[in-house]
Chain A
Amino acid sequence: MEYGPPPLFNQGVSARARLAFFSFLAVLLIVIDARVNALDTIRVGVGVMLYPIQRALLWPRDALVQAGRYVTTVQNLTRDNERLRESAAEHAARLLQDDQLRLENARLRQLQGLRERIGVKTQMVQVLYEPRDRFTHKLVIDHGSSDGVRAGNPVIDEQGVVGQVTRVFPMVSEVTVVTEREQSIPVEVVRNGLRCIAFGGAEPGTLELRFLAANADLSSGDAVVTSGLDGLYPPGLPVGTIARVERDVKDQFARVIVNPTGGVDANSVLVVLQVTAAPLPAPPREDGRGEHPGRRSTRR
């Protein structure tokens, strides 16, 4: 057995052993976080610790923005005022019509004995910052679980769906935007009611409708809205417009690229829809003796 000379300067555990230890720990954490979601309490703890620092560091930017706002010229203000007045006048007609339609709808629903669609509680939130993550596009908003925001709540702006709350801290929460690859929304095409699922697109900043037959009746310019089938997104929220449809002979599916309507890039004020997700019905059993579909839908 060979013995090396004793180390002249004791440096503690060797660098390689440390590397092995910490890398193993990191990989372990990654696996646990990605597969089991068991680390959320630790994450929330660290997040609460970081929160005051984060807020303090947002202060300089907010102060700059405030100062910029303070010195906006009269010209800007008058222009904005003009524009707002125009859009108010434009919307007024539509609102009146909307009121009438809603009344009519309520009456018809009563007639049909359908349940009233439950009004969704909404909450206005502000985007605090965008994390510097190059791989996923997220937004951090200034309301968290203490304000009733829950993971899974849809987030919209005045134009359409922006994303979904994916992680909740006590004071802040993370919103993953719809154009992220892991995000998916059940949607339908307004023109013909074709139902499908929109996923985040391969190109940055777009969505993709997957698993649609190559001869599906779609054309660019079609509006895509949520279908509400998942019980999370209320039906009818605008998601995007079809930018182009690529039909390749080799593929049996059409490749449909959708541009999002909601401003996923530049937004400071968003609305969180505090939907309480109805528990999904149990999937039908494999042997075909599942519950009757009609009964399932009434139970929801």
Chain B
Amino acid sequence: MRLWRLRRAGGETAAATPAALQRGQPHKQVLRPVSPLFIWVTLAAGLALDLLPWGRTPLVPDFLALALVFWNIHQPRRVGMAAAFLFGLLTDVHDGALFGEHALAYTLLSYGAISLHRRILWFPVLSQSLYVLPLLLVAQLASAAVRLWVGGASANWWVGLTESAVGALMWPLVNWILFAPQRRPISRDETRPI
């Protein structure tokens, strides 16, 4: 059953009030089952985008965090905190950060996404980014807190805030890309039950 989850098509402006729930969902689309391969490929792609030599370019969001949040919200039973932790360790090595810093940040991010995933899914995609923004900020705060605790860091708060904001703004795009294979039209087959 969980493979054939029903999902409202995005772009609807109705808030998640009980009235909206009663009104029923005008556009329902049956999504195709997600392929586990696609999940891991996109996570790896997020990591690869983070590994690109961005240097100190401003406004570059954390692609891996976005992919993690997406899969934690939509497939919480497949992509959990263990994956977030391991990807965090890889990022730590690449960034030369403390071992475990991004792991902690992504674990918190993942926990937030998993515990909010039922609520977030009620909202249209644009409003979902308002939930994604604080999640990304929590991850940034966690790594900043680690640095302040260990000492010897001068945090630049604006960079973290703008990065998270850009990440949240990219949420509709992320949704569109990562949902694309599941939205493919089912091949015409008259004998199919659905």
Contacts and interface: CB of A to CB of B under 8 A. Distances in A.
Contacts of B54: 132
Nearest to A18: B81
A33 B100 contact: yes
Contact of A140 (B50, B90, B96, B154): B96
B107 A30 contact: no
Contact of A135 (B90, B100, B155): B155
Interface stretch (B4-12, B145-153, B168-176, B184-192): B145-153
B21 to A, nearest CB: 22
A114 interface: no
Contact of A174 (B51, B96, B103): B96
A130 B152 contact: no
B159 interface: yes
Contact of A25 (B48, B85, B143): B85
Contacts, number: 124
B166 interface: no
Nearest to B107: A22
B68 interface: no
Interface in B101-122: 101, 103-104, 107-108, 111, 114-115
Given A23-B104, A128-B53, A57 B96 contact: no
B99 A130 contact: no
Nearest to A40: B99
A137 B77 CA distance: 38
Interface secondary structure of B, over-half rule: helix
Interface residues of B, number: 46
Interface string A60-85: 11000000000000000000000000
B115 A15 contact: yes
A104 B5 CA distance: 85
B111 A15 contact: yes
B27 interface: no
A43 B93 contact: yes
Nearest to B147: A135
Interface string B10-47: 00000000000000000000000000000000000000
A180 B152 CA distance: 8
B55 A130 contact: yes
Nearest to B148: A135
B53 A29 contact: no
A57 B103 CA distance: 22
B48 A30 contact: no
A180 B154 CA distance: 9
A131 interface: yes
A209 B93 CA distance: 32
A58 interface: yes
Given A26-B85, A130-B55, A181 B96 contact: no
A135 B159 CA distance: 10
Interface in A86-131: 128-131
A81 to B, nearest CB: 29
B155 A129 contact: no
A175 B51 CA distance: 18
A133 B99 contact: no
11 contacts: A15-B115, A16-B111, A26-B85, A28-B100, A46-B89, A57-B48, A129-B55, A132-B50, A133-B95, A138-B96, A202-B154
Given A132-B50, A167-B96, 7 more contacts: A15-B81, A19-B107, A25-B103, A34-B98, A57-B52, A130-B53, A131-B94
The 5 A-B residue pairs whose C-beta atoms are closest, nearest first, are A29-B100, A26-B104, A129-B53, A33-B99, A130-B55
Interface of B: 48, 50-56, 60, 77, 80-82, 84-85, 88-90, 93-101, 103-104, 107-108, 111, 114-115, 143-144, 146-147, 150, 152-156, 159-160
Interface of A: 11, 15-16, 18-19, 22-23, 25-30, 32-34, 39, 42-43, 46-47, 50, 53-54, 57-58, 60-61, 128-136, 138, 140, 167, 174, 180-182, 202, 204
